[in-house]
Structure 1
């Protein structure tokens, strides 16, 4: 035993030569193979990281893409094909330069026409009835106060004629989403990434309205899914802007100032529980005077329903719903005080988007 150990510790000259030769060969092989393996792994990792960073960069810059008037002074506008910012159009300019083409929408407050101004397509809105003048003026004042990437761009207005002009978005409101994606030229955009981005835009808009320069605003024109979807326009680069601001009452919790969305009884599962007549099961008739007021958390209750619609039935939608399950459960809490803020929801949406993009990039690299 001792001799065998000694031989292993002190090899013969022949064995030394063999080991030396094998060592040089092994060293040569390792010196060539290790860098190749390292380079391959580095390239794989780099491609993964680059894909993730690129997609994440596109996502993080979404808010800058939404609006074309970024960089303009207040009370100015600039549409995509315009080189310079222009002051809001006034009555004389609207009457002389804006040409009405066709009716594209109407509601209780206003009629909306496709129009043209100096070769630019715009939306011309006119008051439908003087009965709704206060709503019209409120909507105009909100458009003026809330101009930014998440709000439709104001082009001009004329109080004398009760008209206002905004940027035209040919894809229309969110009510058209499925029909837009069904078009051949837009089918490639019908992905969970684009749909989740739209849902994130929606929550971003709520967060903006709940923390706006004009105070904490509540979206009161949202008593049904269809009515809510009609408030948002789909841009050509598949983002959202809020368009209809005729019913945005202000909440001021410091003064105990709450709101009621209209003076009629609201019904259905879409509206928040606190918006329902609390004595509906007792047979007591609805009374606006006895109806309790509420705050912006009514908007939070509706987020899961809107997102469910926006995600549709495309591959990946189920996984998105799975990741959003917990935050959506919190949005649906009966007690409005226990619901998350729009910012809380927004953080989760962005986190889910980024992690799913990263995971998808990793799967592609493995394939």
Structure 2
């Protein structure tokens, strides 16, 4: 091979080398750019989801509400607004002193018809002062507890002198928790999802005892199943307080105990569900005009029974029975502190919540189906 040809071959080799290297650089740059685009898109989607999640869970300020696809908070509806919609109401429930209807309100922001629950004093009871006072107190309590993720959302209020109306979020999809536990959907829930519902109930007690101003006792808890009826399951699947007719303030450190009303005719429905200090004989109850002193520790006594009911009611699957049993076994220690006879020595709702979350994390890491 002559010298000229040799140099030509060398030049061709170098050219091929740099060409390959250049192509490789271009390809790598292209891949990096594509990866950048993918990462950028993922970040954008994540940011949008976080914004959407925040907007759907962010609480409105007191006196305002937001439901469904409403983009902004709306001021509570007043008498003028309620007068326009109450004429087209459909009864969906009620109690001894109140009736509950579903009504439609058109949101100006979205143009959508929003379904709301309308609560009013039962017309046949308006002359019975103690019933009217109880229903009206429940309305005032509900408004005073706003805003909170642990309480049903209020949408409006009206007092026209003869009648009082309260508008709230409508939980038409699942309804009250005591009825939902008989629903086929509840029976299909995983054990962990049921436990999360129990955690949300404990969060409600933390709110009442520690985060709602003065500590409040939930007096209207007489039996595990009836206690579930004090909560609603929202359409986005949260367990929230709804029936708050009887929430006296506990200031026992100042020797001002909460006073709970005894059950009708001073007859206890479920004696063991009540804390020892809440139990009574019929004679003693009558002498005290049905008034029973209590503290927030009376609520603590009842939490283990409420949780056990949620985890074990209507469970037919053997695997879920075993899962419920395992969770309750893990909760045995904290539940024993709930059941101490001396109320002052019982644990707090905050301590229960902390332990429940620890147990939830344990079973999630154990890959229990969620």
Relative to the length of structure 2, the TM-score reads 0.73
1:189-243 per-residue CA deviation (whole Å, 9 max, x = no partner) reads: x111110100000001011001233411111111122321111001233320100
1:93-147 per-residue CA deviation (whole Å, 9 max, x = no partner) reads: 0111345442211112311112211111111101122322221222122112211
Q: Kindly report which structure 2 residues correspond to 1:1-367, keeping only aligned pairs within 5 A, or say none.
A: 68=56, 70-98=58-86, 100-118=88-106, 119-128=113-122, 129-130=125-126, 131=128, 132-147=131-146, 148-160=148-160, 161-170=163-172, 171-180=174-183, 182-183=184-185, 190-263=189-262, 265=266, 267=268, 268-277=271-280, 286-288=286-288, 293-312=293-312, 313=315, 315=320, 316-360=323-367
Contact kept in structure 1, 2:261 and 2:290, CA below 8 Å: no
Q: CA deviation at 1:263?
A: 4.6
CA 1:301–1:153 in 2, change beyond 3 Å: closer, same or farther? same
1:226-282 per-residue CA deviation (whole Å, 9 max, x = no partner) reads: 3211110012333201001111000113321112311553522211111112x67xx
Contact kept in structure 2, 1:199 and 1:307, CA below 8 Å: yes
Contact kept in structure 2, 1:223 and 1:266, CA below 8 Å: no
1:39-81 per-residue CA deviation (whole Å, 9 max, x = no partner) reads: xxxxxxxxxxxxxxxxxxxxxx9xx979956242221000022
Give, in whole Å, the separation in 1 of the partners of 2:367 and 2:151. 32
Contact kept in structure 2, 1:69 and 1:79, CA below 8 Å: no
Give, in whole Å, the separation in 2 of the partners of 1:259 and 1:250. 5
Q: CA RMSD in A?
A: 2.7
Give, in whole Å, the separation in 1 of the partners of 2:151 and 2:84. 26
1:332-359 per-residue CA deviation (whole Å, 9 max, x = no partner) reads: 1221112111111111100000111012
Any unmatched runs of 5+ in structure 2?
Answer: 1-49, 107-112
How many aligned residue pairs are there?
Answer: 294
Give, in whole Å, the separation in 1 of the partners of 2:338 and 2:214. 22
